[in-house]
Every structure is written in C-alpha cells, then in structure tokens.
Amino acid sequence: MKIAIAASWLTTWRVKVASILCILQLWKIAESRGRLQGERMGEQAANSGSDEAIVIIKAAPQVGKRHGETVCCAGLDLYGRWLRLYPVSFRHLEERQKFGRWDRIRFKWRRPPDDSRTESRRVDQQSLEVVGKLRHSERGKFLANAIVHSLAKEREEGRSLALLKPEVLEFRADKKTETELAKEQSRFDVIRSQSDMFAKEVTPYHPCPYFFRYRYRTQDGLREGTCQDWEVEATFFKWSREYGEKKALAEICRVFGEEYPERGMLLAMGTHSLYPDVWLVNGVIRLDQIQQGSLF
C-alpha cells in the first residue's frame, strides 16, 4: 500500500515538473521571439529619427558634384555616442541655425543608403536647431569617456570616429599644385552655375592653397593625416589678410605645431568614406581650453 502511494506521488511530481519545464520553455521561446521582434522593430526605427548632439567636429568645406559645397560635422549624442552629420550646406543655413563646436543641436535624420559607417546620419537641414551650448566646466567630463589611444582598435570594433590623444611629432603645410587648386575651383564654379537663380546668394569660394598635415604617434605606431579642421583653414585666411601669406604660414605652424602640442591636445579623427582604413584629422581640440582634471 505504501509503495503504491509513493509510486503515485512520484508520478504526480514528475508530471508537475514536466509541466513546469514545458511552461518555462514556452516562456523562453516567447521571450526570444519578443526580443527578436523588438530588435527588428528597433532596426527599422533606427533608419530614421531625431536626435541631439554636442558638436565636436566641424571640418573645412568640401566641394563635390553630388551635394555641392558641404561641411562634414560630427558630435557626441547625450549618451556619449558618435554621430556623423552629413551633408550640411553651411553657407545656406539660416543665421539662427549656424553652429560651432560645443553647441548643442537638435535635428532629424535618416540612414544614408550609400554610407555603411555606423555613425553616419543624413541630416534634414531644415530641421537643424541650436538649442544650447556645453558649458566650459562640463566639457572635460563630457569628453572623458570618448578619449582613445589606438585607432586600430577603433576600426576593429567597427567605429569610424574617434577622439585621439596622440604624441604629435610634426605639423606642416604642403602647397597644393596649380592643377589641384584649379580643379577645386572648377568644381565650385560648375555647381554655382547650375544653382537655381532664385536660390540664396552664394559667398565666393576660394580653395585653401595648402594641405595641413599632422604626423603623430599612437599605440599603433607612427601615422600621418591631413588636417581638415575648419578652424585651421579659417585662421590661415584671416592671418593671410592681416599679415601676408608668409607670416601667416609661420604662425599657423607655430600655433598648431608647437603651442597646441605643448599645452596638450586631442585630435578628432574620422575615416574616409571610400577608404575606411584612412583616418583624417577632422578637428583639433586644445586641452587647456577645457577642464583637464576630469580627463585623466
């Protein structure tokens, strides 16, 4: 009698355990399906959206056949993730929309079909708003987690933007050839001639006669990159008007090649859209212009 009761109890217990395991399995399947569905919905939703970012990179204007004269900009969103904002026709922005480094901007975007870099966003230029500015006292803390020492590691992890702390070895100005200058000017002239006659008047374009380049050392070894920071080119043009080209060049090399490295600097780096292993210097940030205490 006791044996029969025990056997019956054991059978009932096994059935209950089997039922519980079945329920758990079904729950896991449902959870997995829900997660996958959520991920797919997230992927679909991520094809477009709106965001806010702090501007870190504002490269010198480039002239192309497809978008005309545009500026490649990039920033960190409020969670510290890089976003590449392109194309921005800066000359055609309303005054209230024009932004600089450290400005907090809001914008609508969509994924570009011709740019596989994960950070890239095609900006709806009409939606651009300047909604604030990162205070001086907040900049060090905001940038701290973004600083890296290896570009190879960033590429391995699928990133195409980086805030690099290198050892700067050289800054130089290489004069462009007459052919290179004529080609740049010609591209702009063609675009201007094709512009709508009722479009906003375009400021005359003058290509910079020099390539500015940094040679620097990272954990990966020696590297060299063209500097596309708008500030460098704008400073060259300003000083050329004030002091003449020869003195302007000497001052540019002293400030960006000696003064900046001595006081500490960061390079805001970005890869080329057609050559993903080529890193360009898109921005130069002086450490003494932000609070250093929270950076190291």
Q: What is the DSSP string of 259-284?
A: IHHHH-EEEEEEE-SS-TT-EEEEEE
Give the pLDDT score at 165.
Answer: 96
Q: Determine the straight-line distance between the first and last CA of the chain, rounded to whole angstroms.
A: 77
Going through the chain in order, the beta strands assigned E by DSSP cover 48-58, 62-64, 68-77, 82-88, 103-110, 120-133, 147-148, 161-164, 167-175, 210-218, 221-227, 265-271, 279-286
48-134 shares its CATH topology with 141-289: yes
CA-CA-CA-CA torsion sign (18, 20, 26, 32): negative
Give the pLDDT score at 45.
Answer: 46
Q: What percent of the chain has pLDDT over 90?
A: 52
For the domain spanning 48-134, the CATH number is 2.40.50.140
Tokens, residue 34: 């829900």
Cα-based distances in Å from 252 to 16, 171, 283: 80, 9, 15
Taking a C-beta distance cutoff of 8 angstroms, is the pair 222, 212 a contact? no
> What would the pLDDT profile of 16-62 be if each residue is shown by its tens digit?
544 544 444 434 433 433 443 443 344 344 799 999 999 998 876 66
* Domain ranges across the chain: 1-45, 48-134, 141-289
pLDDT band, very low/low/confident/very high, at 291 (cuts 50, 70, 90): low
Give the pLDDT score at 25.
Answer: 41
User: Does 296 have pLDDT greater than 70?
Assistant: no
d(CA 234, CA 237): 5
Computed over every residue of the chain, the mean pLDDT equals: 80
User: Does 180 have pLDDT greater than 60?
Assistant: yes
Q: Domain 141-289 has what CATH class?
A: mainly beta
Give the pLDDT score at 62.
Answer: 62
Calculate mean pLDDT across residues 274-279: 88
Tell how far CA 37 is from the center of its chain: 30
* pLDDT greater at residue 153 or residue 28: 153
> What would the pLDDT profile of 57-108 be if each residue is shown by its tens digit?
887 666 555 544 567 789 999 999 999 998 787 777 888 998 999 999 999 9
- DSSP H stretches of helix in 46-132: none
d(CA 296, CA 137): 15
d(CA 139, CA 54): 10
User: Does 197 have pLDDT greater than 70?
Assistant: no
pLDDT band, very low/low/confident/very high, at 144 (cuts 50, 70, 90): very high
Give the pLDDT score at 186.
Answer: 79
User: Does 13 have pLDDT greater than 80?
Assistant: no
* pLDDT greater at residue 141 or residue 40: 141
d(CA 229, CA 284): 7
